[in-house]
Amino acid sequence: MPDLCYVGIDTSNYTTSVALADEGGQIVANLKLPLPVKEGGRGLRQSDAVFAHVKNLPTLMRELGALLKNYGVRGIGVSVRPRDAEGSYMPCFLTGEVAAESLAAGLSVPVCRFSHQSGHLMAALYSSGASDVLLGGRFGAFHVSGGTTEMLLVKPESAGFSVELLGGSADLHAGQAVDRVGVALGLSFPCGPALEKLAMTNTKKIPKPRISVRDGSCNLSGLENLALDLYRKTNDKALTAAFVLRFLTQTLAEMAQWLRETYGELPILFSGGVMSNRIIAGELQAKLGNVYFAEPAFSADNAAGAALLCRAQLTQA
């Protein structure tokens, strides 16, 4: 009898992802294809994202199919909405749900539906190496990406999480700020990795950011204007990149300090594409302590969390 496995599918606004978790809870495959963005573009319309997922999914499903020859599939986990909140909806997730239903029908296995946010939390938990610490009670969490900048209070449950939104950005998301400034500097979208490389070459003193944080909420719309004004004055791409990352680091640090002042000295887990940045992660670790980060492959968009959540739900059934 073949070993059992659990499939994960996630179709976010910028990445098509499929993953495979084995019966022991290890990720066997974490496959991804980015959605194409035109040169100079700063994002995708939902209609374009849906079309791109439709083109990407057959390629990834063929790769997945080759792996499934060695396993018996017990269930399919899929992201069907951005977060666990009433009215949370994005059309791009429908493509993943259709793929999950089609695969499940052919295999006669159940489909388990989750939020993209819960998938990020589960993948980060898996990759952080701190499951014992974080699953011991409630913990703080940040989901920071191009589509989300949220601060959460998380309570582990038998097959997932109970999540309470505590705060976040009132306007621009952190990843949007990174990409808007990056495109203005001539970088290709998505700009996070290239902006990080630029920032690492900076040798000048970074101007003190004027951040805006109040009661767990932040404003990031001013970051774009401040960064581009700095670039106009200095013509220094490396300094501008370093300023953007310092601004985000200090914003997240102040929000995290508010979380701990309000809810106690909780451990904090960071996930989302922006949290793949080693500069931000290193400075937050130094400022806060007792914080945890996923490896980049499990911090950026992925389907590993959906596969692991599916395993947790079906093994509890």
Note the pLDDT of residue 135.
81
How is the chain split into domains, by residue range?
A: 3-126+299-316, 174-294
pLDDT band at 136 (very low <50, low <70, confident <90, very high): confident
Note the pLDDT of residue 13.
86
pLDDT band at 11 (very low <50, low <70, confident <90, very high): very high
Percent of the chain exceeding pLDDT 70 equals: 99
Note the pLDDT of residue 2.
80
Note the pLDDT of residue 158.
76
Q: What average pLDDT does the segment 238-248 reach?
A: 98
Q: With 80 as the cut, is the pLDDT of residue 248 above it? A: yes
pLDDT digits (tens, 9 = 90+) for 21-36: 999 999 999 999 999 9
Note the pLDDT of residue 1.
64
Note the pLDDT of residue 39.
78
**CATH class for the domain made up of 174-294:** alpha beta
pLDDT digits (tens, 9 = 90+) for 180-217: 999 999 999 889 999 999 999 999 999 999 999 998 99
Q: Does domain 3-126+299-316 have CATH number 3.30.70.360?
A: no
4 Cβ contact partners less than 8 Å away, ≥ 6 residues apart: 22, 23, 71, 72, 73, 74
| Contact in structure between 2 and 11 (CB atoms under 8 Å) | no
| Contact in structure between 50 and 94 (CB atoms under 8 Å) | yes
pLDDT digits (tens, 9 = 90+) for 111-135: 999 999 999 999 999 999 888 788 8
Closest alpha carbon to 64 in 109, 108, 113, 21 = 21
Note the pLDDT of residue 249.
98
Identical fold between 3-126+299-316 and 174-294: yes
User: Mapping DSSP to helix (H, G, I), strand (E, B) and coil, where does residue 230 land?
Assistant: helix
| Mean pLDDT value across the chain | 94
The pTM (predicted TM-score) of the whole model is 0.91
Q: With 80 as the cut, is the pLDDT of residue 40 above it? A: no
